[in-house]
Amino acid sequence: MKIAYFDCFSGISGDMCLGALVDAGVPLKVIGKGLKALPVRGYRLEERRVTRSGIAATKVDVILGSGKGKNKPGVRLWQDIRKIIGGSLLPEKIKLQGLGIFKKIFEAESRVHGSPINKTHLHELAGVDCLVDIFGTLLGLSHLGVDRVLASSVNLGGGSARTTHGILPVPAPATAELLKGIPCHSSGPSFELTTPTGAAIISDTSSGFGPMPHCTITTIGTGAGDADPAGWPNLLRLFVIEAKERVSNESVTVIETNIDDMNPQVFEFVMERLFEAGAADVFLTQVIMKKSRPGALLTVLCHEKRKDTLIDIILRETATIGVRFYDTERVTMERKIKKVRTRYGTAGVKVSNSGSGLTKCIPEYEDCRKLAQKTGMPLQEIIAEVGRAAEKKFKWTESDIPRGFAKG
């Protein structure tokens, strides 16, 4: 499992995220090309090498142009941001994740200022640079091909910060709202180390917080912040790591709703949308509802940070008028997709292990289905052939892989 682990010992900000990703090997040109899918102009990206307390790092700056017209980095409403993101040509998964991050920002500002979300406006968070920081980070993580994001406890800093609302204590009220339920601490120099943008990014992308898991470090990226206080390395470290065993129990949220008054054909579209928005799993269960009506129980598993976005999709795309949700835990095995060659063609197999000797090898259904369609052979024969190929390649005995599926 490839994991991106953010070490937030000196907090986190949007430019620090971009710097750490570029330093870890993501070309700035790749991020810039991806960002062209956003209908936003009037900026350019620059990278430079800097040192913080003697440590070399990458600093990425978003240089704003004239700021004319719709791209002026001033006040923006939720509907403005939603229109910009919705009108982009970004991959659907990144578009939905970014939309979820901005919705959390507006919800936090709404609670802080006591105003409805549709009347809440942003200042520091409203500009082109914030859109670039957030979507640039999502594009960078996608380029690295990480399976999971983890983070350390977040250093908030201390003292006070100057904003458009005047002098505010650190953490800023919006930052504190965004980091509810997340391990934080305060140490080092007396100024703002974690910005609202950084808090929004890490609270949404990370599925867990704490010490780095047992792993092998493959790449380290170091991103620099603007400030360079004496005696303190104002840096964000990104460790790209390979986990050699199951990381830990994982907290997940379960969302459920019963539906008995909708065309069943719609479920396929709903499930696709939910997976695109970051659902860990989606499934249907047949149920008998009141007055003996047949219905379906729609169940969605997700990380808590995805809950609101997924609930919105369910309410918008289905006939239901309410959902229920609760938190639980699950244990997952490390998994990788590996390719095997057969006489019918190449197919993937999902190889999973628990770190304690238990390994499973399961042929990828979609690959097997395509081979069956291409060759005209029965699907069951293709699945069995892929299982035998995996057995041969990984030198597992037939008894180790019942029906060519699993070793344990």
Alpha-helical segments (H) within 114-216: 128-144, 173-178, 196-205
Is the per-residue pLDDT at 151 higher than 50? yes
> What pLDDT is stored for residue 71 in this prediction?
45
Domain boundaries, the chain: 2-243, 250-330, 334-407
Distance CA 353, CA 332 (A): 9
Distance CA 38, CA 71 (A): 11
Distance CA 61, CA 16 (A): 9
Q: State pLDDT tens for residues 347-389.
A: 999 887 665 566 778 899 999 999 999 999 999 999 999 988 8
Q: H/E element holding 356?
A: none
- The answer to whether the CB of 108 falls within 8 A of the CB of 125 is no
- The answer to whether the CB of 406 falls within 8 A of the CB of 360 is yes
Q: Which residue has the tokens 């995220």?
A: 17
- Which residues lie below 8 Å from residue 86, measured CB to CB, with a gap of 6+? 95, 99
Whether omega for the bond prior to residue 171 falls within 30 degrees of 0, making it cis, is: yes
Distance CA 159, CA 162 (A): 11
Is the per-residue pLDDT at 69 higher than 50? no
- The answer to whether the CB of 222 falls within 8 A of the CB of 235 is yes
Is the per-residue pLDDT at 74 higher than 60? no
Burial 359-376 (b: 16+ CB within 10 A, else e): bbbbbbeebbeebbeeee
Distance CA 301, CA 307 (A): 9
- Name the pairing type of β-strands 359-363 and 345-353: antiparallel
- Name the pairing type of β-strands 281-288 and 166-169: unpaired
> What pLDDT is stored for residue 406 in this prediction?
35
**Both tokens of residue 228?**
């360079």
Distance CA 51, CA 71 (A): 32
Q: What's the CATH number for 334-407?
A: 3.10.20
CATH of 250-330, one of 3.30.70.1380, 2.60.40.650, 3.40.50.410, 3.30.390.30: 3.30.70.1380
Band (312; pLDDT cuts 50, 70, 90) = very high
- The answer to whether the CB of 1 falls within 8 A of the CB of 106 is no
> What pLDDT is stored for residue 55 in this prediction?
96
Distance CA 84, CA 257 (A): 31
- The answer to whether the CB of 57 falls within 8 A of the CB of 51 is yes
- Which residues lie below 8 Å from residue 217, measured CB to CB, with a gap of 6+? 239, 240, 241
Q: State pLDDT tens for residues 267-288.
A: 999 999 999 999 999 999 999 9
Determine the average pLDDT of the residues in 305-311: 90
- Our CA angle for 137, 212, 174, nearest 5°, is 45
